[in-house]
Structure 1
Amino acid sequence: MALIKSISGIRGTIGGSVNDNLTPIDAVKFAAAYGMWLKQQNTKTNLSVIIGRDARISGDMISSLVSKTLIGLGINVVDLGLSTTPTVEIAVSLEAADGGIIITASHNPKQWNALKLLNNKGEFLNAEHGETILKIAEKDAYQFAEVDDLGIYTEKEGYIAKHIDEVLNLELVDIDAIKKANFKVVVDAVNSTGGIAIPALLEKLGVECVKLYCEPNGHFPHNPEPLKEHLTDISELVVKEGADFGIVVDPDVDRLALVCEDGSMFGEEYTLVACADYVLGKIKGNTVSNLSSSRALRDVTEKHGASYQASAVGEVNVVELMKKTEAIIGGEGNGGIIYPESHYGRDSLVGLALFLSHLANSKMSCKALRDSYPVYFMSKNKIELTPQINVDAVLEKIATKFRKEDVTTIDGVKINFEKEWVHLRKSNTEPIIRIYTESSSQDSADRLAIRFVDEIKNCI
Structure 2
Amino acid sequence: MTLIKSISGIRGTIGGTQGDNLTPIDAVMYAAAYGTWVKQQRNKEDYKIVVGRDARISGSMIQNLVMNTLVGMGIHVVDLDLSTTPTVEMAVTMEHADGGIILTASHNPKQWNALKLLNNEGEFLNAEAGQQILDIAEKAETQFAEVDDLGKITRNDAYFDLHIDEILDLDLVNKSAIEKAKFKVVVDGVNSTGGIAVPLLLETLGVHPVKLYCTPNGEFPHNPEPLKEHLGDIMKMVVDEGADFGIVVDPDVDRLAFIDEKGQMFGEEYTLVAIADYILQHTPGNTVSNMSSSRALRDVTRKLGGTYTASAVGEVNVVQTMKDTNAVIGGEGNGGIIYPELHYGRDSLVGVALFLSYLAERKIKVSELRSEYPVYFMSKKKIQLTPQIDVDAILKGMESKYANEEINTVDGVKIDFAENWVHLRKSNTEPIIRIYTEASSQEAADSLADKIIGEIKVIAGL
TM-score interval (norm. to shorter):
over 0.9
| Secondary structure of 1:190 counterpart | coil
1:69 corresponds to 2:69 = yes
Question: What are structure 2's unaligned runs of at least 5 residues?
Answer: none
Residue 330 of structure 2: aligned partner: 330
Structure 1 residue 119, shift from structure 2 partner: 0.5
Residue 215 of structure 1: aligned partner: 215
Residue 35 of structure 1: aligned partner: 35
Instruction: Kindly provide the amino acid, as one letter, of the partner of residue 227 in structure 1.
Output: L
Residue 47 of structure 1: aligned partner: 47
Structure 1 residue 157, shift from structure 2 partner: 1.0
Within a 5 Å distance, the mapping from 1:364-443 to structure 2 comes to 364-382=364-382, 391-426=391-426, 433-443=433-443
Residue 298 of structure 2: aligned partner: 298
Q: TM-score, normalising length from structure 1?
A: 0.96
Residue 239 of structure 1: aligned partner: 239
Structure 1 residue 426, shift from structure 2 partner: 3.9
* Residues 387 and 431 in structure 2, CA contact (< 8 A), matched pair in contact too: no
| Secondary structure of 2:66 counterpart | helix
* Residues 191 and 219 in structure 1, CA contact (< 8 A), matched pair in contact too: yes
- Check 1:387–1:213 CA distance in 2 against 1; reply closer, same or farther (3 A cut): farther
**What fraction of aligned residue pairs are identical, expressed as a percent?**
71
* Residues 4 and 429 in structure 1, CA contact (< 8 A), matched pair in contact too: no
Residue 140 of structure 1: aligned partner: 140
1:174-229 C-alpha deviation (Å, 9 max, x unpaired) = 00111111111111111110000000000011111111111111111111111111
Instruction: Kindly provide the amino acid, as one letter, of the partner of residue 99 in structure 2.
Output: G
Structure 1 residue 430, shift from structure 2 partner: 9.6
1:372-418 C-alpha deviation (Å, 9 max, x unpaired) = 01111112334578866654444344334433432222112212122
* Residues 11 and 429 in structure 1, CA contact (< 8 A), matched pair in contact too: no
Instruction: Kindly provide the amino acid, as one letter, of the partner of residue 422 in structure 2.
Output: V
1:110-136 C-alpha deviation (Å, 9 max, x unpaired) = 111111000001001111111111111
Deviates more, 1:177-186 or 1:417-426: 417-426
Q: Tell me, in whole angstroms, the C-alpha distance in 1 between the residues paired with 2:83 and 2:386.
A: 35
* Residues 185 and 243 in structure 1, CA contact (< 8 A), matched pair in contact too: yes
| Secondary structure of 1:96 counterpart | coil
Instruction: Kindly provide the amino acid, as one letter, of the partner of residue 227 in structure 2.
Output: L
1:186 corresponds to 2:186 = yes
- Check 1:456–1:227 CA distance in 2 against 1; reply closer, same or farther (3 A cut): farther
Q: Tell me, in whole angstroms, the C-alpha distance in 2 between the residues paired with 1:30 and 1:245.
A: 41
Within a 5 Å distance, the mapping from 1:131-280 to structure 2 comes to 131-280=131-280
Q: Tell me, in whole angstroms, the C-alpha distance in 2 between the residues paired with 1:361 and 1:295.
A: 26
| Secondary structure of 2:78 counterpart | strand
| Secondary structure of 1:254 counterpart | coil
Residue 344 of structure 2: aligned partner: 344
Instruction: Kindly provide the amino acid, as one letter, of the partner of residue 32 in structure 2.
Output: A
- Check 1:385–1:208 CA distance in 2 against 1; reply closer, same or farther (3 A cut): farther
Instruction: Kindly provide the amino acid, as one letter, of the partner of residue 235 in structure 1.
Output: M
- Check 1:30–1:457 CA distance in 2 against 1; reply closer, same or farther (3 A cut): farther
Instruction: Kindly provide the amino acid, as one letter, of the partner of residue 331 in structure 2.
Output: G
Q: Tell me, in whole angstroms, the C-alpha distance in 2 between the residues paired with 1:274 and 1:266.
A: 10
* Residues 6 and 428 in structure 1, CA contact (< 8 A), matched pair in contact too: no
RMSD (CA atoms):
1.9
- Check 1:17–1:430 CA distance in 2 against 1; reply closer, same or farther (3 A cut): farther
* Residues 359 and 366 in structure 1, CA contact (< 8 A), matched pair in contact too: yes
Residue 356 of structure 2: aligned partner: 356
- Check 1:219–1:431 CA distance in 2 against 1; reply closer, same or farther (3 A cut): farther
* Residues 381 and 436 in structure 1, CA contact (< 8 A), matched pair in contact too: yes
Q: How many residue pairs were aligned?
A: 460
* Residues 4 and 430 in structure 1, CA contact (< 8 A), matched pair in contact too: no
- Check 1:168–1:42 CA distance in 2 against 1; reply closer, same or farther (3 A cut): same
